[in-house]
Structure 1
């Protein structure tokens, strides 16, 4: 009964309570989702062993489905291999992009732009506000983890190492908000992009993200100014390394232009080869002579990518044929769920089901993770820099404005733009293939 009490309230917000009728159940809950829920719970509880937990969950779920339920693609091990054959392009693209973006982020950090930007900040509370806006903007074309860490490093210098927990929450929220409307700013939006969702369909998330930024920016900056005012004249003169900026631009253009060209001219081939990821790595190899790439970041990025891909694989094996119809209420609930469970598998489930307004979903799962320190990768990364942030009670008590901002931003988006669901191209193609078969 304890498992059921845990899973069923979750299912009221996230559409994971319904499955095929013949799926084994325990206390009325399908075993597939119990295993998935336990994996997510393990990730939330054991922060030092997330890779082991995620990989173990993927193995256990795979073995269970091979032995008992089978896959859409068939039963047993042959069905499993066929399932991997169907999912390998998305997995390969994500692996290439996550590792490539780690190199891209390091080039941006070493370009000296993050060091120069703070010297243009106002000297009162508005300086803290503008810093949050800068993090928001950076996250639009950098990974939100990198944007949060850059903001955290600048804040450490500007505020003499004394950073308020409420401001740390605002930094994480600004990074997640900035990535919500960009397909290169967050792993969740990158997943939508790979699945065939147009970048234009995700961009309206900035309406909600912008409204939320005003709230967290004003309140968070005021909190920080009272706690430790900004330090004046904290910056020495440095020069921007434009060669590194050029590398960042080349890498981004390679990935974006390839995705546009493939989907415009060869949409039927988009699901058969990881064009985006390969294009990014071709750009990395071609720019090796301009500046040395920091290959040292690749092993750690690889471990992080395997963690995320393990969760994506788990989500891909969940049967979603009988799931409730997506709605803005469901998307709203997903935001709260993403504050305690990783948003990657939640997004993978939503993409597999289809029928969401992708901008609304991007904001919900992206910004929603900011409400608790371990709800997003950006929060976990920043807490390594500021260990005092690893307190749920302090985060909620001092970063309460993030929750308010999430609700207000969501209401603004639904009120102004409404709910416009759309099925991604890859989902449509897969559905048509199933119907044909």
Structure 2
């Protein structure tokens, strides 16, 4: 039965990887393989001889001798445990997405465009690079990419030039998301899973992530495409914010998101609680500013529909990317099925025995640096969410062990090497219709150099702190 479950997972994984070829959204195979995997576990529970206790991170002794009822009870407890952990991530993401959409509702991001006055291609390159690096750390790399490419479309009218900027924004956004607990979904997973803390994440990864961004941008600044100035456009005029509260909602929304790690540190409550508080405060001001009366508990469907057109909260909730939320649910619960059967635990053991030991004395479990670097390369080919989810089930190192920080860096920045390797890349591909092979030829080598430069920097910084 374990073999069948692994086959189901592999087939589902392949379907996720080639979603652009088979024209099936990746959330569908993720949900299907999750449901089938747990159904097979339930049907074949009596045949399993081992079970992984996620709470204590070890295999349950003599699981094969347990009675059927005891095994079923253990399975239900494990399923509920993983659902709870997954729900923490999903509710957190829902809150963050809604706040970003509320900012957009008030046209808050137009404030950023008004700061850009230069026409120098090189200056615009560096300006957008730093904007992507720091903005992605606050509103996540996916949203930062959408915002900056939208602004870029109003500044650079030549698409052949603009796609170069877009390609480098992907690198900067993924690098910026790696050092922040709210900058990338994989880093958020490690943070909510109590594998990393905000302070140590910044100390260990800020410099490597910055180098990962700076090196490709430095090289790119010498390329012919970034020499000279942008041509003047007849309709190139400053876009004034459409709403007088644009700046206020931008700063309020970003401040609310940034306050979540502080809330967690002070209260020791899960991050999603702080995100819900931030969402509630932002929503209050949004409703006041829009002069809209709206009750989230309203039972009158007609009244609710009427408010949907002018309530910023309702409008924002209708625009959040629910397919991504369902994909995370499916993939995290599918990986949890493999973890529960002890498959990931045993796989980690075989990796530690067979891979060259480049970082044994540092990681404490004999985990090779090469394994983590390969995880980064793998995240460019296949989705980084299941890779990180699998690593959570493989290793039992304590919070803030450098292994977790290296995983956060590799999974977060490695996806830049292919345009389909990260959410930021996929959304840029859709917004600008960037060709896969154009990116592979023009941008991938820059991303690879940055990834390796940052990895080398991490290997030095971890010996200092």
**Structure 2 CA distance for partners of 1:93 and 1:113, relative to 1, 3 Å:** farther
Query: 2:8 matched to 1:35?
Result: yes
From 86, 94, 111, the counterpart of 2:89? 94
State which drifts further: 177-186 or 162-171: 162-171
Change in 2 beyond 3 A, CA 1:232/1:174: farther
State the shift of 1:252 in Å.
Answer: 2.1
Matched, 1:321 2:345: yes
3-state SS of the aligned residue for 2:284? Answer: coil
Shift of 1:64: 2.4
Given that 2:9 and 2:33 are in contact with CA atoms closer than 8 Å, whether structure 1 keeps it comes out as: yes
TM-score normalised according to structure 2 size? 0.74
Q: How does 1:212-361 map to 2 (within 5 A)?
A: 212-223=212-223, 225-226=225-226, 229-231=229-231, 234-236=236-238, 238=240, 241-249=246-254, 251-252=256-257, 255-263=260-268, 275-292=270-287, 293-299=312-318, 300-318=320-338, 319=342, 320-322=344-346, 323=348, 324=352, 325-352=366-393, 353-355=395-397, 357-361=403-407
SS in 2 for 1:298: helix
Structure 1, 179-188 or 210-219: larger mean CA deviation: 210-219
Q: Report the count of equivalent residues.
A: 380
Worse overlay, 222-231 or 182-191: 222-231
Consecutive unaligned residues of structure 2, counting only runs of 5 or more, are: 54-62, 288-311, 353-365
1:150 maps to what in 2?
147
1:166 Cα deviation after fit: 4.3
Q: Which residue of the partner structure matches residue 199 of structure 1?
A: 198
Offset of residue 366 of structure 1: 0.4
**Distance apart, 1:329 and its partner CA:** 1.5
Moved more, 276-285 or 93-102: 276-285
How far the C-alpha of 1:372 sits from its partner, in A, is 0.9
Q: Cα–Cα, structure 1 residues 163 and 150, in superposed 2: closer, same or farther, change >3 Å?
A: farther
Tell me the distance in 2 between the aligned counterparts of 1:88 and 1:180.
25
CA contact (8 A) 2:122 2:227 kept: no
Partners in 1 of 2:449 and 2:79 — Cα distance? 41
Determine which of 108, 125, 129 is the counterpart of 1:128: 125
Match of 1:46 in 2: 19
Measure, in 2, the Cα distance between the counterparts of 1:152 and 1:170: 11
Change (3 A) 1:350 1:232: farther
Aligned partners of 2:410, 2:423: CA distance in 1, in Å? 15
Is the contact made by 2:145 and 2:170 (CA closer than 8 Å) also made in structure 1? yes
Larger Rg: 2
SS of 1:374 mapped into structure 2: coil
Once the two structures are superposed, what CA deviation does each residue of 1:114-137 show, in whole Å capped at 9, x if it has no partner? 322322x46232321221111111
Note closer, same or farther for the CA distance 1:124–1:394 as it changes in structure 2 (3 Å cut): closer
- TM-superposed CA distance for 1:215, in Å, is 2.1
Partner residue, 2:356:
none
Matches within 5 A, 1:9-24: 24=2
1:394 aligns with 2:438: yes
Give the secondary-structure state (helix, strand or coil) at the position aligned to 1:140: helix
Q: Is the 8 A contact 1:139 1:175 kept in 2?
A: yes
Matches within 5 A, 1:98-177: 98-109=93-104, 110-111=107-108, 112-119=110-117, 121=118, 123-164=120-161, 165-177=163-175
Aligned residues of 2:121 and 2:227 also touching (Cα < 8 A)? no
Q: Which residue of 1 aligns with 2:303?
A: none
Structure 1: segments with no counterpart, 5+ residues: 1-22, 26-30, 264-269, 421-437
State the alpha-carbon separation in 2 of the partners of residues 378 and 249 from structure 1. 19
C-alpha change, 1:163 and 1:297, in structure 2 (3 Å) is farther
Task: Tell me whether 56-65 or 143-152 shows the greater mean CA deviation.
Answer: 56-65
Cα distance change, pair 163–222 in 1 and its aligned pair in 2 (3 A): farther
Mapped to 1, the partners of 2:422 and 2:172 lie a distance apart of 12
The structure 1 segments of at least 4 consecutive aligned residues displaced by more than 6 Å after TM superposition are none
Q: Is the 8 A contact 2:201 2:405 kept in 1?
A: yes
Q: Distance in 1 between matches of 2:164 and 2:411?
A: 21
Per-residue CA deviations over 1:286-338 (Å, capped at 9, x if unaligned) read 33231143533435422211111211111222233221343321111100000
Q: TM-score normalised to the size of structure 1?
A: 0.79
2:412 to 366, 391, 406: 366
Give a deviation string over 1:394-415, Cα, whole Å, max 9, x none.
2111112111211121112213
RMSD of Structure 2 on Structure 1 (CA)? 2.7
Cα separation, 2, equivalents of 1:409 and 1:90:
30
